[in-house]
Amino acid sequence: MDKIGDASENPFEGSPNDVPITSLSRVIEIDLREMLGEREIPAPIQPVNNILM
């Protein structure tokens, strides 16, 4: 239990089990830019070694 608590203590550090905040932010940015009708939209964040950051 202690190891699980340590691993999930700070969910925004960028570990494999953390919240993929960079990817979530990019998805929100893409959605907003599409709603505004912008043409230059960034690509979604791709996983690295099957881990989404």
Which pLDDT does position 7 carry in this prediction? Answer: 76
Instruction: Please say whether the beta carbons of 41 and 34 come within 8 A.
Output: yes
Count the neighbouring beta carbons within 10 Å of the beta carbon of residue 53: 16
Which pLDDT does position 12 carry in this prediction? Answer: 81
What does pTM read for this prediction? Answer: 0.76
Q: What is the mean pLDDT of residues 19-40?
A: 95
